[in-house]
Amino acid sequence: MQFLKRIFLFALTNILVMLSIGLLVFVLSRFFPALAGYNNSGTMALALIWGFGGALTSLMLSRVFAKMFNGVQLIDPRTATGDERWLVQTVYQLAKDAGITTMPEVGIWESPEVNAFCTGPTKNRALVAVSTGILSRMSKDELEGVLGHEISHAANGDMVTMTLVQGVVNSFVIFFSIVLSRLILRRGDDERDSGGGFGEYMLRNLLQMLLSLVAYVAIIAPFSRWREFRADKGGARLAGVDKMIGALEALADSHRLPQPPAADPSLAAFKIDNRSVAALFSTHPPLEERIAALRASRL
């Protein structure tokens, strides 16, 4: 029910904003005749379908894609032994404490990278996976902190929220790239420019890339960093502050936990990541800031 409510609110927000933009384009068309004579309502519908629909499709298939791209092997809780049994039991206990009623799928993927991720369309249809690297290099207390962080992502609905925010942004990018390409090529004339077609297609793609970059830096990355701080707090509540801090300190210890390239960079947004990335483009805050925030929460 919460999942449907979240989708409805984001869809309603997207539609209302797109209608507002349509009104703005109507006003601008009085000054830029190049915008007149086009089916701008059709453009808005196209932007919504491709931007929002694509994001929802990605969300629904997120567990399938994660298993496929990373080679995640699910653990059967009925036959699990040793570390695998501990992993499943720990995830289940943390999920229960977080109010998740349907236990997540738990899996492992073969990789020396020290990483973990959580994905899925809802908190009750989640997948929590860890690499063999993190299993072998972290203590159980540190790993429990990591798992608490990932379970908090599921309990907070971060997978849904992040994907839908991306859908809203995608819709804006598609819409504005089409409108701006018309303005640039028509130069205020109402005439059909013979230079359209392929030229307009290339310009539109270039504008989409530029607008996507701006939106990523201004909206997606900052929002992602905020949700990581929130998941850290959630992990601290579930596993304990000391275990959460210990997990982040272990990740920060590059000598003890060297980081090879991620098996699949496209899933990096789901993971606890310790790679050196320019601050504006990073989906995760610096580990030092995350540790400091947790220590300050004790005061």
Ranges of H-type helices in the chain: 2-29, 40-47, 53-60, 62-70, 82-97, 132-137, 140-155, 158-186, 198-215, 221-239, 241-252, 287-296
Asked if residue 119 belongs to a domain, the reply is no
How confident is the model at residue 296, as a pLDDT? 93
Beta-carbon contacts of 243 under 8 Å, excluding residues fewer than 6 positions away, are: 141, 142, 144, 145, 148, 236
pLDDT bucket at 204, cuts 50 / 70 / 90: confident
pTM of the model: 0.81
Average pLDDT, the chain: 82
Asked if residue 198 belongs to a domain, the reply is yes
Q: What is the mean pLDDT of residues 149-166?
A: 90
How confident is the model at residue 271, as a pLDDT? 53
Q: Is the pLDDT of residue 192 over 60?
A: no
How confident is the model at residue 268, as a pLDDT? 45
What does the block give as tokens for 150?
A: 């990932």
Asked if residue 70 belongs to a domain, the reply is no
* Domain region containing 53: 1-62+140-299
Q: Is the pLDDT of residue 263 over 50?
A: no
Asked if residue 125 belongs to a domain, the reply is no
More confident residue, 267 or 225: 225
Q: Is the pLDDT of residue 138 over 90?
A: yes
What's 284's DSSP letter? S
Active site residue 150: yes
- Specify the amino acid at residue 123: K
Q: What is the mean pLDDT of residues 273-286?
A: 69
Q: Is the pLDDT of residue 269 over 50?
A: no
Q: Is the pLDDT of residue 194 over 70?
A: no
Asked if residue 43 belongs to a domain, the reply is yes
Domain count within the chain: 1
Asked if residue 212 belongs to a domain, the reply is yes
Does residue 234 contact residue 133 with C-beta atoms inside 8 Å? no
Percent of the chain with pLDDT over 70: 77
What does the block give as tokens for 166?
A: 């991306």
Rounded CA-CA distance 94/141 in Å is 13
* Segment 59-113, tens digit of pLDDT: 888 899 889 888 999 999 999 999 999 999 999 999 999 999 999 999 999 998 8
How confident is the model at residue 80, as a pLDDT? 93
Element (H, E) at 116: strand 116-119
Rounded CA-CA distance 92/41 in Å is 48
Asked if residue 174 belongs to a domain, the reply is yes
Of 200-214, 249-263, 283-297, least confident by mean pLDDT is 249-263
Order across the sheet with 127-131: list the strands: 73-74, 105-109, 127-131, 116-119
Element (H, E) at 127: strand 127-131
Rounded CA-CA distance 46/29 in Å is 19
pLDDT bucket at 240, cuts 50 / 70 / 90: very high
Asked if residue 92 belongs to a domain, the reply is no
Q: What is the mean pLDDT of residues 265-277?
A: 47
Active-site residue, from 84, 142, 144, 150: 150
